[in-house]
Amino acid sequence: MSKYSDGYLMSIRERYKNTMHAKRIEVDISKAIKTGDTIQFHYELGSTYIKGSGLVLDLACGSGFGAKILSAVAERVIGVDNDQKMIDQANNSSRTNGIEFLAADVLDLPCDTDSVDSVVAFEIIEHVAPAALLREISRVLKPGGVICISTPQNSLGHVPSTSDHLREFSLDEIRAIVGEFFKIEKIIGIKQGSIFFSDDPIGSSTFIVAKKPMGCEDITL
């Protein structure tokens, strides 16, 4: 039981909102510190789980830096973002053979059912209706397809600390919602930057690797 009232948490959220100007996190790989940049590390870590995939979706791809990382281990990567300016930037700076960028809503993906081998969704689920996102990802993934998700870990996430987030999730909460749609294979608690311990799911960020069930198999971790 939290010792902080929802009213107090909301007041802190409002104070933080007034100090925060950036609407999204963008990474300039040329300036990133390899051992300390969390978002870049999510892509590097995700690459180890989607290696050998035919088609990978990179949701909320931004400027496309992550798609480049994924393209080293996949045949084809499609970056999706609802911001046309970011897609234009990605097409100008990050588009190479095997990478494509599309402006689209992550809740209404321009992909056929059961057509995608892997999906990465880093720092997205806290911005949208979680069940709707996971349902749409499940629709486009092939049976047995891999999904990698990351999101801030917050035991008081019903009042999210970041003003642009609709909801943040405790470890148990994110495990439960992802487990409704996918078979969870691995949960990693990223402490900070690229620091984590293999069997420790507690951290400032939760990183989940899961698969779309092949049929009526049990999807409980």
Alpha-carbon gap, residue 14 to 43, rounded angstroms: 31
**What local confidence, expressed as pLDDT, does residue 13 receive?**
64
**What local confidence, expressed as pLDDT, does residue 5 receive?**
79
pLDDT in tens, the chain (221 residues): 556 777 766 776 676 665 555 555 555 555 444 445 678 999 999 999 999 999 999 999 999 999 999 999 999 999 999 999 999 999 988 778 899 999 999 999 999 999 999 999 999 999 999 999 999 999 999 999 999 999 999 988 787 778 889 999 999 999 999 999 999 999 999 998 888 998 899 999 999 999 999 875 555 44
Q: pLDDT tens, 83-103? A: 999 999 999 887 788 999 999
The burial of 2, by beta-carbon neighbours within 10 Å (0-12 exposed, 13-18 middle, 19 or more buried), is given as: exposed
- The set of residues, in sequence order, having a beta carbon less than 8 Å from that of 92 and lying 6+ positions away, is none
**Torsion 139-141-145-149 (CA) sign:** negative
- Residue in 108, 110, 90, 111 with CA at minimum distance from that of residue 99: 90
Distances (CA, A) of 93 to 86, 96, 98: 10, 9, 14
**What local confidence, expressed as pLDDT, does residue 193 receive?**
85
- Residue in 157, 161, 150, 221 with CA at minimum distance from that of residue 190: 150
**What local confidence, expressed as pLDDT, does residue 15 receive?**
65
Q: What is the β-pairing status of strands 55-59 and 76-81?
A: parallel
Query: Could you say which architecture CATH assigns to the domain 28-157+167-211?
Result: 3-Layer(aba) Sandwich (3.40)
